[in-house]
Amino acid sequence: MEKPLILVTNDDGITAPGIKALIEVARKFGKVVVVAPDSPQSGMGHAITLTKPLRLHPSAMFEDDVDAYECSGTPVDCVKIAVDKVLRRKPDLCISGVNHGSNSSINIIYSGTMSAAVEAALEGIPSIGFSLCDFAYDADFSGAKDAAEKVIAQVLKNGLAANTLLNVNIPKGKVKEIKGIKICRQAMAKWEEEFDARKDPHGREYFWLTGKFVNKDKGEDTDEWALAHNYVSVVPVQYDLTAHHGINFINQNWNL
């Protein structure tokens, strides 16, 4: 039987250590094709490039059995061009990451890592986004690789619920420090942000986004709880944004 075809992408760029760690795991399961941004694209969300041409170039960043390309666009661009121009068939799996930093809770909205996985899911490709709760360039990815291997094996063997993908976050630390894996819901948390006003050397005002993450969700079934207690969090995500309870509310309370 033909080996699974696995598309790997990220938002930190093709040179990031996180994508190298994910490729190491993916090579154990099948044929790996990488299409990733040629520069960091963190926080791009589901942005796509419409007003300038995309560039796509082969990359020699990885082992000889890995076909790799770097793209001038966003993470979502990478998935789109991979499906249309690079891959000989629809992949059996798309994995995005490993992101340098958490994409738990509301962070999923801003995440280029997760948006790449969402785009693949829209194409009917089983998809997973992986993030490590450590922003350091030289972070220890051993726990992330261990979790990724376990989750990928389950997805390839058992599949996913229709029209869903997975958001997987791994706590900072070594493998032995991680207690296990929790299937969770997304915590109802948010960023409380403000813009710090500053002056450049010419006296002109500019602004720098600052803020703090606030989690008032005390549930013990959330991704934030799992990560705080040294568990890997796995949140099934859907791209259908319909608020079905909102339909019921309007039907019951509005007079149209």
pLDDT in tens, 195-243: 999 999 999 999 999 989 999 999 999 999 999 999 999 999 999 999 9
Please give the tally of structural domains in the chain: 1
76 in a domain, yes or no?
yes
Number of Cβ within a 10 Å radius of residue 229: 13
Q: Is the pLDDT of residue 22 over 90?
A: yes
Residue 81 lies in a domain: yes
Tally DSSP H helices, then E strands, for the chain: 7, 11
192 lies in some domain: no
- The answer as to whether 116 is a domain residue is yes
pLDDT digit string, tens, across residues 163-173: 999 999 999 99
Residue 237 within a domain? yes
User: Contact, 75 vs 37, CB < 8 A?
Assistant: yes
pLDDT value at 143 more than 80: yes
Q: Is the pLDDT of residue 151 over 80?
A: yes
CA gap 187, 105 in Å, rounded: 5
Is residue 12 assigned to a domain?
Answer: yes
Whether 211 is in a domain gets the answer: no
Task: Answer yes or no: is 145 within a domain.
Answer: yes
Domain that holds residue 175: 5-186+219-253
The strand pair at 5-9 and 56-59 is best described as unpaired
What is the domain-level CATH number for residue 28?
3.40.1210.10
Global pTM?
Answer: 0.94
Report CA dihedral (222, 225, 230, 236) to the nearest 10 degrees.
Answer: 10
User: Could you give the CA distance from residue 239 to residue 247 in angstroms, rounded to a whole number?
Assistant: 17
